[in-house]
Amino acid sequence: MTKVKTSTEYVADSGAHCPVCGSENLEGQALEITRDGASHDIMCLACGSSWVDIYTVIGGTDHLSRYDYLSINGEGGPEQDS
Ligand SMILES: [Zn+2]
């Protein structure tokens, strides 16, 4: 099993490393501005995982607040309860 960082661990690290493999070899896609802040698609060039950084505006400044998985190791994300 792959140990994947929790959102809290990822944010504490400022999103500087892949939450799946820990690589710094990340590539950001286009930043998308949303009603509440912004979202930023990130892909890990080392393991092929991808996720979305979610930024929330706090006191007029965008802060990385959490991330959502898109895929892990290029295959689907974890099971989602919906
Ligand atoms: Zn990775």
Asked whether 44 and 50 are in contact (CB, 8 A), the reply is yes
Asked whether 70 and 51 are in contact (CB, 8 A), the reply is yes
Query: What spacing in Å lies between the alpha carbon of 23 and ligand 1's midpoint?
Result: 5
pLDDT for 13-55, tens place per residue? 999 999 999 999 999 998 999 888 999 999 999 999 999 999 9
Distance (Å, rounded) from C-alpha 7 to C-alpha 74? 19
| pLDDT for position 38 | 93
pLDDT-derived band of residue 81, with 50, 70 and 90 as boundaries?
A: low
| pLDDT for position 46 | 96
| pLDDT for position 1 | 56
Report how far apart, in Å, the C-alpha atoms of 66 and of each of 1, 77, 78 are. Answer: 22, 16, 16
Query: What spacing in Å lies between the alpha carbon of 67 and ligand 1's midpoint?
Result: 14
Which pTM was predicted?
A: 0.82
Query: What spacing in Å lies between the alpha carbon of 26 and ligand 1's midpoint?
Result: 8
Query: What spacing in Å lies between the alpha carbon of 75 and ligand 1's midpoint?
Result: 12
Query: What spacing in Å lies between the alpha carbon of 52 and ligand 1's midpoint?
Result: 13
